[in-house]
Amino acid sequence: MQFTYDEFCGENNLEIKDEVYNYLIKARRHKIDDEIYFRNLKDENLYLYKIVLIDKKRAVLNLLNTEKKILVNNKKLHVGWCVIDPKTVEKYIASLNEMGVDKISFIYSDYSQKNFKINIEKLEKILINSSCQCGRSDIIKLDIYKNLDEFISKNKNVYFLDFSTTLIDEKKDEIKTIVIGCEGGFSKNERDKFYEDFIVGFNSNLILRSETAVLSVCSKIIL
């Protein structure tokens, strides 16, 4: 872990308990006078604390130092991900966070199964753990759109991943926002809304799963 997350860190005195206590004291076996880095992922600061007290169910730490330390990707990418099985999203979203994706908007497209429900709170917990491991000073921002029309109306210069002779490598420096389809891709009604100059594809004849496409797109554009 590059740091430990605690929403209350930043105060002169920090009390830890429950999951954080179990991890730091029981699992990592930290002791009195050990120094530990924390972030609250709300500001850009890295907080250094020292353990001054350990009880059976809690520990108290004193703040030693506060350092403004921003660690994010220079390339900002907003992904519109048409809704797929939430279990699949949960499996791969940490990798997208590590790559440095700035924002993911989940879109209920024509081919998305409407019974799939995106649990933002659960995803944020996964993202927090991911940032603790990779050192990122924030997490991916998440929101939900009821359809593709709503997403297009609220975002500018939206690119779409689809079958195209224009390869994503040719446009990667221009792409700030891109939509990835769900299983089955996009409907004819949705494709009719695309501008030809904003459609990009891969140099491949194979059909990718949605999660494979998202990982591939993000790695090409960001890394």
Q: Are residues 50 and 92 in the same domain?
A: no
* Predicted pLDDT of residue 154: 97
Q: Which residues contact 101 (CB under 8 A, 6 or more apart)?
A: 73, 77, 79, 140, 218, 222
DSSP 74: S
CATH number assigned to the domain comprising residue 47? 2.40.240.20
pLDDT (tens digit, 9 = 90+) per residue, 7-44? 999 999 999 999 999 999 999 999 999 999 999 999 99
CATH number assigned to the domain comprising residue 174? 3.40.1280.10
- Specify burial of residue 31 (Cβ count, 10 A radius: 0-12, 13-18, 19+): exposed
* Predicted pLDDT of residue 191: 95
Please give the model's pTM, rounded to 2 decimal places: 0.94
* Predicted pLDDT of residue 88: 98
- Mean pLDDT, the chain, rounded, equals 97
Residue 131 inside a domain? The answer is yes
Residue 73 inside a domain? The answer is no
Q: Tell me which of 31, 48, 68 is where a domain ends.
A: 68
Q: Are residues 97 and 190 in the same domain?
A: yes
What domain count does the chain have?
A: 2
What are the backbone dihedrals phi and psi of residue 17, each rounded to the nearest 5 degrees, phi first? -155, 180
